[in-house]
Chains A and B, each alone.
Chain A
Amino acid sequence: MSALRQIHKVLRCSSNVAAGLSRNIVPIFNAARCSSNVSSDHPSMFPGAKAPFVSEPNFTLPSDYSPIPIYRVMDAEGVVNPSQDPNLDRDFVTKMFRDMVLLNTMDKILYESQRQGRISFYMTNFGEEASHIGSAAALENRDWIYGQYREAGVLVWRGFTIEQFIDQCYGNVADIGRGKQMPVHYGSKDLNFVTISSPLSTQMPQAVGAAYAMKRKPNNDSIVVCYFGEGAASEGDAHAAFNFAATLSCPVILFCRNNGFAISTPSHEQYCGDGIAGRGPAYGIATIRVDGTDVFAVYNAMKKAREYVLRENKPIVFEAMAYRVGHHSTSDDSTAYRSAEEIEIWNTTEHPISKLKNYMKKKGWFNEDEENAFVKDVRKQVLKQISVSEKKLKPNWREMFQDVYHEMPEHLKEQMGELEKHVEAHPDFYPLKNFKA
């Protein structure tokens, strides 16, 4: 048995022990080991690793590790494993379902409105609704969120309004971000959702730093959750975040949305290891992989993860498996690199919303007419908001110079003055009527 195989075996054993100790605690973290089964007469003194010597030059192969299993609570028919049922009440589950439907409905309309040229850009969340809602529902609103860009469901759960979403996409005078960023780059101080930025993975070491600072606050009861895609996990910043989170003991959940694609790049061209979860133990981080189309699996695992992170002041790697049903963005046609048949499977039987719908039907909590009325109402709200948001003026163009620094330096005041004079001289050249005076 190779050393790594041995360690692997111990790893599995420790999981089983954990399972035995906490039978009613649902998901099991594959607790990463900082020390292994080194015998007491072990002569190795290397500071860099605690490991036994072996007398054969055996390579540790990727196949020596079995893949980290996918935690699942509910099947495609909505049948729940009774021992794993979180037993959420009807109102709670209805909010989960409706928030997923709201997100899905808003996505469809905003996607179309981009196709019609009404907004400049959009990214849908199709197929990943359960990982947003399931995770958000297991957190406290005081927990800080750092996202990538495909986590709008977390905002929906926390109460970001249709008006706020659409105002941001239009960059109008009501946009919290003052019209400075592209659509879907949401942020909310009130909801502890840190403003999204386009550069991938940059938020990851930031989330770790924020978690470190939170840990130091007296009686801290908040954690940080950082969402990122499996493509983003290839960036150097992801490595930095994993390693800093582990060595500096930060209460952060590193939540990977593994949806199989980074634009056109399939995950098998992204990495050769056991996904993103497979990396967690290598960094010394407790890790779990869940079915991201199963809202209860995500919920249960996140609930446990939050408790662990807060109690231990240590990070967790959380990988939610899903499938990106929609195109990458409005600038992408995904049928150029995958089949319509493949997409269809994930858009029907394996879709997170249909699974939860099946569950609710079994519970007798689903009323077709009520749900149709809900969808109709959301459609109406979204369409109405689009017409309202597109009529709202853009912010005063002088805001372009604001918030560069905390205070406006002299040279920016001068540049603003220069533009003022120029615009005054050529008012017809600029779309002034669309901007607040």
Chain B
Amino acid sequence: MNKYSKNLLTFFKNIKNLPLTRSHFTYFPDRNVKKVASHGVQKMNMFQAINSAMDHALEEDGSALLFGEDVGFGGVFRCSINLRDKYGKDRVFNTPLCEQGIAGFAIGVANTGATAIAEIQFADYIFPAFDQIVNEAAKYRYRSGGIFDCGSLTFRVPCGAVGHGALYHSQSPEAYFAHTPCLKVVVPRGPIKAKGLLLACIKDKNPCIVFEPKTLYRAAVEQVPVGSYVSEIGQADILRKGSDIILIGWGTQVHVLLEVADLAKKELNVDCEVIDLVTILPWDRETIANSVKKTGRVVVSHEAPLTQGFGSEIAAYIQDKCFLHLEAPVKRVTGWDTPFPHVFEPFYLPNKLRCLSAIKELMNY
């Protein structure tokens, strides 16, 4: 038994002393908030930050429309609250309950150059719109030789585990879309990022999907810049520097990994570098490769199932570009290859203990 195993064993023995929390993660607020000129910051949770982003978008751009199921009264997650009153019901409105219609309608709005912000109520229900998104939105510019596009289109899509969402209120379908050239796909980890990414996607000249981890809507609270700002699409964030191993995640899982990094330091004396990938497509290969070359060990972690999850793409890229730097195989800690279950959720999620075990395994390799 080496030092890592021994430390981990002690940790597992003491596990009963860990406090029981409602959710599987502890939120780590962003600390390095960049100053946004002429405006201060305000305490906001994630749905308020998203609301603020859409408020800016609707105010700055008279062509911008916001629509989806139940968007009018404020949205089932309150993201669009008060916006209909402020901008009128011709700009903020309910659609019939039909995801393929929402997506197709949004594409048409964007074809004319107007800005479309379309909400799909849950990521689990984006599949009826899959054809419109994959065959149409994504390929518009390419197939027309650039004469038509729907670049002014953004989908907002609540995603991820929420504790009791079961099969159809928990999914993380980012990998399905990552296989589609021409889309941009981002996942914010908290309010500051959510606002900046959403505004960046709305302004971006390509169809974008923002997957918003819905468990963070209320749980995540930060000092969010009040003004309008954008977070760069395609740029990963190194949230914690470390020299032994890198942990890559996105969305809620970033917070699991930040806690794991603390635990690994405390229990195993392992220095973890934690990276929020932020953008699934097109993803920041350079930041990842540079970090891997430094540490030689990698854990990729996501809530979505293992097989063909986006972790596979990252792992394959790392073995291709960092082969001689690797000290251990790339480890993926993910949801299992099952539908997302109801009562078994605590056993399904790639929680901190599973991540910690993976770190131990790689340090021992």
Contacts and interface: CB of A to CB of B under 8 A. Distances in A.
A155 interface: no
B98 A406 contact: no
A405 B144 contact: no
A98 B313 CA distance: 56
Nearest to A201: B104
B19 interface: no
A197 B108 contact: no
Contacts of A404: 141-142, 181-182
Interface string B135-151: 11001111111111101
Nearest to B283: A411
A171 to B, nearest CB: 10
**Residue of A178, A211, A404 with most chain B CB atoms under a 10 A cut-off:** A404
A241 B104 contact: yes
Contacts of B93: 248
Interface in A324-380: none
B101 to A, nearest CB: 3
Interface in A192-220: 194-195, 197, 199, 202, 204-214, 216
Contacts of B131: 199, 202, 237
Interface size, B (range): 35 or more
Contact of A411 (B112, B113, B148, B282): B282
A418 to B, nearest CB: 12
B155 to A, nearest CB: 13
B111 A194 contact: yes
B145 A403 contact: yes
Contacts of A213: 63, 65, 108-109, 111-114
B241 interface: no
B116 interface: yes
B54 interface: no
Nearest to A180: B143
A244 interface: yes
B6 to A, nearest CB: 43
B105 interface: yes
Nearest to B139: A197
Contacts of A199: 131, 135-136
A187 B101 CA distance: 23
A387 interface: no
A189 B145 CA distance: 11
Nearest to A202: B136
A128 interface: no
Given A175-B145, A216-B90, A403-B145, A243 B98 contact: yes
A406 B136 contact: no
A178 B143 CA distance: 8
B294 interface: no
B29 interface: no
Contacts of B100: 205, 236-237, 240
Interface in A243-298: 243-244, 247-248
Contacts of A57: none
A244 B132 CA distance: 15
B236 to A, nearest CB: 13
A168 B221 CA distance: 54
Contacts of B98: 236, 239-240, 243-244
Contacts of A79: none
Contact of A187 (B109, B113, B144, B181): B144
A403 B142 contact: yes
A409 B140 CA distance: 17
Contacts of B282: 405, 409-411
A239 B140 CA distance: 22
B234 interface: yes
A3 B105 CA distance: 34
B90 A240 contact: no
A240 B104 contact: yes
A138 interface: no
Nearest to B118: A209
**Residue of B63, B105, B204, B234 with most chain A CB atoms under a 10 A cut-off:** B105
Interface size, A (range): 35 or more
B105 A206 contact: yes
**Residue of A204, A244, A410 with most chain B CB atoms under a 10 A cut-off:** A244
Contacts of B26: none
A344 to B, nearest CB: 38
A403 B146 contact: yes
Interface in A145-197: 146, 175-178, 180-181, 185, 187-189, 194-195, 197
A337 B98 CA distance: 36
Contacts of B111: 194, 206, 209-210, 213
Interface string B176-205: 000001101000000000000000000011
Contacts of B106: 209
B10 to A, nearest CB: 44
**Residue of A146, A213, A407 with most chain B CB atoms under a 10 A cut-off:** A213
Interface in B246-304: 282, 285-286
A79 to B, nearest CB: 41
Interface string B143-167: 1111111010000000000000000
A410 B144 CA distance: 22
B121 interface: no
A34 B151 CA distance: 36
Contacts of B135: 197, 199, 202
B231 interface: no
Contacts of A236: 98, 100, 128
Contacts of A207: 108
A181 B111 CA distance: 19
Contacts of A146: 108
A205 B67 CA distance: 14
A177 B142 CA distance: 8
Contacts of A411: 282, 285
A223 to B, nearest CB: 12
Nearest to A214: B112
A206 B136 contact: yes
A211 B65 CA distance: 13
Contacts of B204: 406
Contacts of B95: 244, 247-248
Contacts of A188: 147
Interface of A: 144, 146, 175-178, 180-181, 185, 187-189, 194-195, 197, 199, 202, 204-214, 216, 224, 236-237, 239-241, 243-244, 247-248, 402-407, 409-411
Q: Which 4 pairs show the lowest CB-CB distances between chains A and B?
A: A209-B108, A205-B104, A240-B101, A195-B144
26 contacts: A176-B145, A178-B145, A180-B145, A185-B143, A189-B148, A194-B111, A195-B145, A197-B136, A205-B108, A209-B104, A209-B105, A212-B105, A213-B112, A216-B63, A236-B100, A237-B100, A239-B101, A240-B96, A244-B95, A244-B96, A248-B95, A404-B141, A405-B182, A406-B151, A407-B205, A410-B282
Given A209-B104, A212-B109, 18 more contacts: A178-B146, A195-B143, A199-B131, A202-B135, A205-B100, A205-B107, A206-B105, A209-B116, A210-B109, A210-B112, A236-B98, A236-B100, A237-B132, A241-B101, A248-B95, A405-B141, A405-B282, A410-B282
